[in-house]
Copies of this chain bind each other. A is one copy, B any other.
């Protein structure tokens, strides 16, 4: 069975669970004060578009040790997805992104709301403040989904601890991501740190850990998820970088050339700076992070990345990391689950969105 067949029925269940949960929250906020009516509506539209990778990885980690009881697991998967929505809301403020999943980001939605309805004040700051606040509420509702679940208190504490560690790691990764572009020379090691903390732990290792802990796994059992998740998480991020510059806007749902405009820290960038000749390097340094970059200029940067072999280097790097991840899978007992892990690794490396 490939991962899509394995994930699909549970993805539907997560979506139904979240839909009910968010409808409840919309009512709750409105009861407190009608001014809060937009609060969860915005998070609902935003949260329902995801691929549910993290929620499904919890179940996959669980099934490595025990047959899943979906009903019992669902609140935990929903929690991880809600937590993820909250992180994305904050990420989008930090990255100043306007588009996510083919629609306006939360702070943009609130900004639009302000511009439409209010005559005074600064719409941008209103939007960012509301999104900041909404994200925090999302984090704590995620924790409450765990505290109210049917697992033992001892297991709940273990996974709240794991989720907290994973969010802290993501926070460190984010901090590096914000700060490092300003440093004189950014090293490939720094980028790997960002990928490891911001993506690999948080997206893959963390959810697999949470699932397996709930199924009774011991600390030593978790090594396999690190061996699989860390290289794969980094590969995922490299593929994300490639899509961020070479991807099709209609498929990715992200603005074209966004990573160049934002001057994002990527291996593509450190590579092109390493491999480009003097003239090319000067152009890339000039255009990387240029706020009002033109489509022509984006194409020019793309050309240089391709010509210098930097694109090829990153594609190979992602493939090799994927292979490394796949090697870890041998230690999983079930043949059927091995296939799921393998096909997920292949997808992550080859994905178009």
Q: Are B36 and A175 in contact (CB under 8 A)?
A: yes
* Interface positions of A from 146 to 184, Cβ below 8 Å from B: 147-148, 152-154, 156-157, 160-161, 164-165, 167-168, 171-172, 174-176, 178-183
C-alpha spacing A114/B251, complex, angstroms: 36
Q: Are B164 and A157 in contact (CB under 8 A)?
A: no
Closest to A167 in B: B140
A309 an interface residue at 8 Å Cβ cutoff?
no
A16 an interface residue at 8 Å Cβ cutoff?
no
Q: Which chain B positions have C-beta within 8 A of A180?
A: 35
Q: Which chain B positions have C-beta within 8 A of A156?
A: 153, 157
Stretch at the interface among A44-52, A119-127, A211-219, A269-277: A119-127
Q: Which chain B positions have C-beta within 8 A of A114?
A: 182
C-alpha spacing A147/B164, complex, angstroms: 10
C-alpha spacing A186/B317, complex, angstroms: 58
How many chain A residues touch B (CB < 8 A): the figure is 58
Q: Which of B128, B153, B172 meets A32, CB within 8 Å?
A: B172
C-alpha spacing A197/B28, complex, angstroms: 14
C-alpha spacing A141/B182, complex, angstroms: 27
Closest to A137 in B: B171
C-alpha spacing A96/B182, complex, angstroms: 24
Q: Which chain B positions have C-beta within 8 A of A126?
A: 178, 182
Q: Are A39 and B175 in contact (CB under 8 A)?
A: yes
Q: Are B190 and A136 in contact (CB under 8 A)?
A: no
Q: Are B172 and A137 in contact (CB under 8 A)?
A: yes
What are some 23 contacts across the A-B interface (CB < 8 A)?
A33-B190, A33-B193, A35-B176, A35-B190, A36-B175, A90-B132, A90-B133, A94-B129, A121-B181, A121-B182, A126-B178, A126-B182, A128-B128, A134-B175, A136-B139, A137-B167, A137-B171, A140-B171, A143-B161, A143-B164, A144-B165, A153-B157, A160-B160
